[in-house]
Amino acid sequence: MTLSRRQFISRAGGVVVVGSVEALFAARPAVGNSGPPAGYGPLIPDPAGVLDLPRGFRYSIVSREGTTRPDGVVVPSRFDGMGVFPSRRQGSRLVRNHECSPTSRIAVQAPPERTYDPAGAGGTSTLVVDRHGGAESEHTSLGGTAINCSGGTTPWRTWLTCEETEDKAGTKGYTRDHGFIFEVDPYDDRRNADPTPLTAMGRFQHEAVAVDPHTGIVYETEDAFVAPLGGFYRFLPERPCGGWGSLRAGGELQALHVPGLPDLSVVRETGAVFGGAEWMTVPDPLAGSESVRSQDYPKPMTGGYKLEGAWWGERDRCVYFVSSFARTELGPAENHDGQVWRYDPRRRTLRLEVVFTRPTPGPDNPEFDAPDNICMSPYGGLMMCEDGIGDAYMLGTTRDGEVFHFARNRVNNGTPEEPAYGELAGVGFSADGRTMFFNIYDPGTTFAVTGPWNRRND
């Protein structure tokens, strides 16, 4: 059966994906290849019981939680979103989030000059990795933050790490308000001293950001898991694309309104386009008395449940974002198992590109749960991290849009009765495309995967 990019069904892992994925492949031009025709083959069981990969691929463990670094600091828990940056001699620098709360197993320890709130347990680690995926060094680049979930890279090669919380000073022992974005320089830690929240970008349950390199506009997703639904926002900086620290100059935060579409979950038809998008100024970005999503707007915000990953599509100059899943008992009007949306700034349109559904409907079917972090592969197609109950996979898409399993987490999968946080997160590629990096959330593990990316399994 030949499947087209326009309409396709894949049964890999029980996933049914229906939609127009042409734009996904155009979101970032492939580097020397249009993507694997049929995936990379079946997963080979790992004798070590850590990570199953296709034949010919190899992994190395770059970092593990609980190990003691040369500086005597123990590597903290809860590895989540991560930015990948080029380094010298074809190596990479990784800035990794730690989604830690005061109850986390191992909190982030940072020097006082790089600590925002001494009561905060979250932060970031910066890792230097050689071109073979071997760790050269690791240190804490930010501490004293809370629930650092995902974020995004900037055109000037820094990492925006996002706090997924709305806790204020005085709660959970915090001495300062939380729910902000912080900028981390992966190259120069002198710039990471005196951590400064980017307050004008809003205080809410941040998930991810994507930056338009032409205008400097920053798009932000909100992973709200209590009513009302989370929003999709944009930040208009006073100093667009001004380099390190320019976002501290402030700007205007705006929330999306699409006429006739207050709830993204109700859209089931891929290719559906909604025009006339408007942006409304957020009255109180600091959410002093009401959450940003609960404030008084002249028109209804367009919202979704668990808005997660975001990235900028350079070829079509559009921003893509993910709604991880929706369940009516949690607030949305309809159920779904994942959506990918595209916002076109020039046409002011919002289009549903992809919908994930299960062949057997029902919230307890664990075969595919919650696409979270997503990146464009330099070889074409997507790499998607699963965050759900049961086996956790890294999924890929072929040049024809079929879904395939690329990696399976064998470390910590959990069960419906005892859910575990074995999710995969933080996927990204080295600048030369030879190495894919990603994390297991718990127990925190960072992997570097290399292999025959150009192999054709027709």
Strand partners, 151: 161
Distance, in Å, from the CA atom of 287 to the CA atom of 291, rounded to the nearest integer, reads 5
pLDDT over threshold 60, residue 294: yes
User: Which of 42-46, 199-203, 311-315, 353-357 bottoms out in mean pLDDT, i.e. has the lowest?
Assistant: 353-357
**Beta-carbon contacts of residue 233 (< 8 Å; ≥ 6 apart):** 202, 219, 220, 221, 222, 253, 254, 255, 256, 282, 292
Torsion of Cα atoms, 413 then 60 then 142 then 78, to 10°: 10
Three-class HEC string of the chain: CCCCCCCCCCCHHHCEEEECCHHHHHCCCCCCCCCCCECECCEECCCCCCEEEECCCEEEEEEECCCECCCCCECCCCEEEEEEEECHHHCEEEEEEECCCCCCCCCCCCCHHHECCCCCCEEEEEEEECCCCCEEEEEEEEEEECCEEEEEECCCCCEEEEEECCCCCCCCCCCCCCCCEEEECCCCHHHHCCCCCCHHHCCCEEEEEEECCCCCCEEEEECCCCCCCEEEEEEEECCCCCCCCHHHHCEEEEEEECCCCCEHHHCCCCCCEECCCEEEECCCCCCCCCCHHHCCCCCCCCEECCEEEEEEECCCCEEEEEECCECHHHCCCCCECCEEEEEECCCCEEEEEEEEECCCCCCCCCCCCCEEEEEECCCCCEEEEECCCCCEEEEEECCCCCEEEEEEECCCCCCCCCCCCCCEEEEEECCCCCCEEEEECCCCEEEEEECCCCCCCC
Give me the pLDDT at residue 397, please. Answer: 74
Domains along the chain? Answer: 12-450 (2.120.10.30)
Rounded mean pLDDT, 438-453? 95
Give me the pLDDT at residue 25, please. Answer: 47
Rounded mean pLDDT, 338-350? 93
Question: Rounded to 5 degrees, what angle do the CA atoms 51, 55, 57 make?
Answer: 60
pLDDT band per the 50, 70, 90 thresholds, residue 457: low
**For the CA atoms of the chain, what is the radius of gyration?**
20
Residue that wins the pLDDT comparison between 400 and 250: 250
Question: Rounded to 5 degrees, what angle do the CA atoms 222, 118, 146 make?
Answer: 15
Give me the pLDDT at residue 246, please. Answer: 98
Residue that wins the pLDDT comparison between 132 and 98: 98
pLDDT over threshold 70, residue 327: yes
Give which of 444, 442, 428 is closest to 75, Cα–Cα. Answer: 444
The model carries a pTM of 0.91
Share of the chain above pLDDT 70, in %: 84
Rounded mean pLDDT, 300-319? 91
Rounded mean pLDDT, 265-276? 92
pLDDT over threshold 60, residue 288: yes
Question: Rounded to 5 degrees, what angle do the CA atoms 152, 326, 393 make?
Answer: 60
Distance, in Å, from the CA atom of 3 to the CA atom of 122, rounded to the nearest integer, reads 44
Give me the pLDDT at residue 36, please. Answer: 67
Rounded mean pLDDT, 234-254? 98
Handedness of CA 126, 31, 22, 319 (dihedral sign): positive
Which two tokens mark 277?
A: 């998008």
Rounded mean pLDDT, 322-349? 90
* Cβ neighbours around 435 below 10 Å, total: 26
pLDDT band per the 50, 70, 90 thresholds, residue 391: confident
pLDDT in tens, 168-218: 999 999 999 999 999 999 999 999 999 999 999 999 999 999 999 999 999
127-141 as b/e: b if 16+ CB within 10 A: bbbbbebebeebbbb
- As a whole number, the mean pLDDT across the chain is 87
**Beta-carbon contacts of residue 180 (< 8 Å; ≥ 6 apart):** 145, 163, 197, 198, 199, 201, 202, 203, 206
Task: Judge whether 123 and 105 are in contact, CB under 8 Å.
Answer: no
Give me the pLDDT at residue 43, please. Answer: 96
Task: Judge whether 455 and 406 are in contact, CB under 8 Å.
Answer: no
What is each CA distance from 5 to 17, 23, 257, in whole angstroms? 11, 10, 30
Q: In what order do the strands lie in the sheet with 135-145?
A: 79-86, 92-98, 122-129, 135-145
Which two tokens mark 148?
A: 């650092």
Distance, in Å, from the CA atom of 301 to the CA atom of 279, rounded to the nearest integer, reads 9
Rounded mean pLDDT, 18-35? 45
